[in-house]
Amino acid sequence: MKSVLIASTLAVSLLSANAFAHGDETHNAAAEKSEGHAAALGKPGVAAKVSKTMSVDMNDNMRFTPATITIKRGETVKFIVKNSGKVKHEMVLGSIKELKEHAALMQKFPEMEHADPNQVSLEPGQSGELIWQFSKAGAFDFACLQPGHFEAGMRGKVIVK
């Protein structure tokens, strides 16, 4: 636990105030929702407003199935994510720049834990949910940021029309 705290402290000191915070900074919730994690894509969704459900599988071939997801602007999507592999995987929504920076940070601090609204981390055989409202049109990214997984090609696209 001590190494996680040290890694988190170092991570926060290395990054700007809103980038990749892991629950240990002290800014208000409204600011985080409007400018925080994956803000370019939209914002955390509300379960009661889910308009589409998508199943996503993660596996040890370092791939997501499907790797490309198309949705309509304004939709709130519930991703039902399953780790069918034998190692930990995660699905993290963000800009490609955010994901690359976070993947590099995870390489330096592989034991770092995070629980942000734009991601779900799963042990082998587990399933979880990620709910996100896509309020902006465009091509956005998601990836697994476990050390080496992003670099091995474990990433995908969300196309919002």
Backbone angles phi, psi at 54, to 5 degrees: -125, 135
Report the pLDDT averaged over residues 50-74.
97
Catalogue all structural domains in the chain, each as residue range(s) with its CATH number: 2-160 (2.60.40.420)
Q: Write out pLDDT tens, residues 141-150.
A: 999 999 999 9
Using the structure block, give the residue that is written with the tokens 């996680």: 4
Give me the pLDDT at residue 5, please. Answer: 37
Coil/strand/helix, residue 39: coil
d(CA 113, CA 24): 11
Give me the pLDDT at residue 6, please. Answer: 36
Residue 9's CB: how many other CB atoms inside 10 A? Answer: 12
Q: Of 160 and 27, which is predicted with more confidence?
A: 160
d(CA 58, CA 127): 10
Give me the pLDDT at residue 15, please. Answer: 36
**Would you put residue 51 in left (φ > 0), alpha (ψ -120 to 50) or beta?**
alpha
Report the pLDDT averaged over residues 53-76.
97
Report the pLDDT averaged over residues 70-86.
97
